[in-house]
Amino acid sequence: MERVPILKLGDILIISIQIDLEDQSVLALQEDLAEAVVAHSARGVIIDITAVEIVDSFIGRMLATIAAMSRMLDAQTVVVGMRPAVAITLVELGLSLGGVRTALNLEKGVALLDHVRGATP
Amino acid sequence: MTGGSELPIASNADVVLVRQQVRSAALEVGLSLVDQTKVVTAASELARNALVYGGGGMARVEIVENGPRKGLKLVFSDEGPGIADVEQALTDGWTTGGGLGLGLSGSRRLVDEFDLVSAPSKGTTVTVTKWAR
Amino acid sequence: MTVDADVARRRIEELLRTNEEQILRRWTLITKATPEELTDLYQALNRALDSGGEDLADVRGLLAELSRSRARQGFTPSETSRAVFGLKEALYEVVEEDGGADALRGFIWFSRLIDDLGLFTFETYATAREKIILDQAEQLLELSTPVVKLWEGIVAVPLVGTLDSARTQVVMEKLLQTLVDTGAEHAVIDITGVPAVDTQVAQHLLKAVVAARLMGAECVISGIRPQIAHTIVTLGIEFGDIVTKASLADALAHALRRSGVQVSTPRGTRISVRTEDA
């Protein structure tokens, strides 16, 4: 099983998913991330899915779970780089990713986090 | 109809293999990028269903033709407990496994043809087809 | 194959070989094909017959080429298959001169062979035409899907004409791809030029707005005519919290406001003053 690396940039954690995720890796990532948020007192989490070719209900649920979990640990989550084909498929699948913030790319994701934190200091 | 390939679904890694196999077949059929993504997502849902609810099974990937149109036909079968109420299982949000309950109903919306055969203790077979536009 | 039939067939093959020039001349007269095309075909047919008459791949290849080029040039299917059937008539004159029973019997066999090839031509012609129609439909789709930049970070698709499901899907995919390519966070789908929408089209528009949101962009629909608004309500389609504006100008003003741009006239009268909190 491959593990997804978690990068730290200031008080933001960045996860860039570059592999075809199997369900076990998804679950491991959820746990690793929760621990990392606490260990680094992170205020923001960015999940980059630019390289992800499909998001099925399992991965969709992971994104929602990570967002909810981080919120509880006082960190905001932004999912960035979703491909058009993936977005269309998610809509058709009926998955709304409720409550997850999204941005077009990493840069805009960082800007969004700054903005959110600026609004609620 | 060309000879299809059979893949076992016995572990999470197999689900990934099924996805990859379906993607390369979808490319061969000439599905658009969006349609490729839809059919691979449906395959991922159905393969996981066979693994989680059916205790493992088989996936068949076949390229089919209907006149000048080419399509991709996928068959997922397991010998698990089966589904008692098929109608209910196809409703959004219905689940027995703690999932989102979008696997069956959602993948039905992602493909052109969807056929589910199941009965209690007889296992489940789902056949889906996606045609090239 | 009986001895008789074999003899008859060989007689025809002989006639075809020895009277090549005469038959070809006559064939060219009957059909509208060029002598070069027919000579190639004739020789391929002779070669196929010499080697037992089973392997007609070369002949079929040439025929397919002929039908395809004619489909493209706008010949009718009758004209195309007549080019093949003409060989019967051309050969018949030679058979008549020969007058032998073998030749006549062989002509029946040959006639059947040509009928098969003629039908093959017809089929290839139909397939070629179908492909042309498909290609044109695709080109039309590409023609009718412009995504334009209105402002830094704001793009729009002005839709004109009747929308069908396929076209709407193509436009929406293109719009979403443009968001990725340009990094634009605001998009406007303007349907001022659309006379009517059905349930499917309305659903596709809605899905595009939701998909854009999933990607991290905002999408506004503008230019909804009263009739279309009526249809959407009657059909019971839920537009939910999707932003709609009466005109493209209103939609642009909304998008500008959302992206924090202030617009003012030279006199200093501010049209849009407040920057809303995004």
Q: Give the residue on B whose Cα is nearest the Cα of C169.
A: B34
Residue of B58 and C143 predicted with greater confidence: B58
Domains and CATH numbers, chain B: 5-131 (3.30.565.10)
* Closest residue to B92, CB basis, from A54, A56, A94: A94
DSSP code for C186? E
Domains and CATH numbers, chain A: 6-119 (3.30.750.24)
Interface contact A105-C214, CB threshold 8 A:
no
Is the complex ipTM more than 0.95?
no
- Distance from C139 to chain A by nearest Cα, in Å? 22
pLDDT of residue C278: 45
pLDDT of residue C214: 94
> Hey, of B9, B11, B12, B107, which one would you mutate to test binding to chain A, going by the most A CBs within 10 A of its CB?
B12
- Cβ neighbors of B123 (< 8 A, separation 6 or more) are B54, B57, B77, B78, B79, B80, B82
pLDDT of residue A87: 96
Tell me the mean pLDDT in the region C13-38: 83
Q: What is the DSSP string of chain A?
A: -----EEEETTEEEEE--S---HHHHHHHHHHHHHHHHHTT-SEEEEE-TT-----HHHHHHHHHHHHHHHHTT-EEEEE---HHHHHHHHHHT---TT-EEESSHHHHHHHHHHHHHH--
Interface contact B12-A24, CB threshold 8 A:
yes
Q: Give the sign of the dihedral formed by CA A102, CA A106, CA A112, CA A116.
A: positive
Report whether pLDDT(B97) > 80. no
- Distance from A84 to chain C by nearest Cα, in Å? 6
> Hey, of B9, B19, B24, B41, which one would you mutate to test binding to chain A, going by the most A CBs within 10 A of its CB?
B41
Residue of C240 and C155 predicted with greater confidence: C155
Interface contact B44-A89, CB threshold 8 A:
no
Contacts of C183 in chain A (CB under 8 A): 104-105, 108
- Portion of chain B with pLDDT greater than 90, in percent: 64
Report whether pLDDT(C197) > 50. yes
- What is the spatial distance between Cα A91 and Cα A111, in angstroms, rounded to a whole number? 26
- Say which CATH topology domain C148-272 has: Transcription Regulator spoIIAA (3.30.750)
- What is the spatial distance between Cα A37 and Cα A44, in angstroms, rounded to a whole number? 8
* Closest residue to C214, CB basis, from A90, A105, A119: A90
Ranges A46-60, B59-73, B95-109, C244-258: which has the least confidence: B95-109
Pick from A19, C174, C122, A88: nearest CA to B20: A19
User: Phi/psi class of residue C228: alpha, beta or left (left: φ > 0; alpha: ψ in -120 to 50)?
Assistant: alpha
- Cβ neighbors of C218 (< 8 A, separation 6 or more) are C185, C186, C187, C212, C243, C255, C258
Contacts of C169 in chain B (CB under 8 A): 34
- When pLDDT is cut at 50, 70 and 90, the band that residue B96 belongs to is low
Report whether pLDDT(B59) > 90. yes
Ranges A32-41, C31-40, C119-128: which has the least confidence: C31-40
pLDDT tens track for C159-180:
888 888 888 888 899 999 999 9
Pick the CATH number of C3-140 from 3.30.70, 1.10.10, 1.10.490, 2.60.40: 1.10.490
Mean pLDDT for chain C? 84
Q: Give the residue on C whose Cα is nearest the Cα of A82.
A: C215
For chain C, the structural domain boundaries read 3-140, 148-272
pLDDT of residue C143: 66
pLDDT of residue C266: 64
Interface contact B133-C130, CB threshold 8 A:
no
Tell me the mean pLDDT in the region B31-60: 94
Interface contact C166-B68, CB threshold 8 A:
no
Q: Give the residue on A whose Cα is nearest the Cα of B36.
A: A85
pLDDT tens track for A6-46:
999 999 999 999 988 888 999 999 999 999 999 999 999 99
Interface contact C127-B68, CB threshold 8 A:
yes
Report whether pLDDT(A120) > 80. no
Half-sphere CA count of C44, side-chain side, radius 13 A:
16
- Distance from B118 to chain C by nearest Cα, in Å? 31
Work out whether strand B113-118 and strand B124-131 pair parallel, antiparallel, or are unpaired. Answer: antiparallel
Residues 49-68 of chain B whose Cβ lies under 8 A from any Cβ of chain C: 68
- Distance from A14 to chain C by nearest Cα, in Å? 17
Report whether pLDDT(B1) > 80. no
pLDDT of residue C267: 63
pLDDT tens track for C86-113:
888 888 888 888 888 888 888 888 888 8
Report whether pLDDT(B131) > 60. yes
Interface contact A87-C185, CB threshold 8 A:
no
pLDDT tens track for A42-87:
999 999 999 999 999 999 999 999 999 999 999 999 999 999 999 9
pLDDT of residue C70: 81
Matching fold, domains C3-140 and C148-272: no
Residue of C137 and B45 predicted with greater confidence: B45
pLDDT of residue A115: 85
- When pLDDT is cut at 50, 70 and 90, the band that residue C265 belongs to is low
Query: What element of type H or E holds C218?
Result: strand C218-222
Interface contact C179-A104, CB threshold 8 A:
yes
pLDDT tens track for C49-71:
887 766 788 888 888 888 888 88
Size of interface A-C (CB pairs under 8 A): 56
pLDDT of residue C53: 64
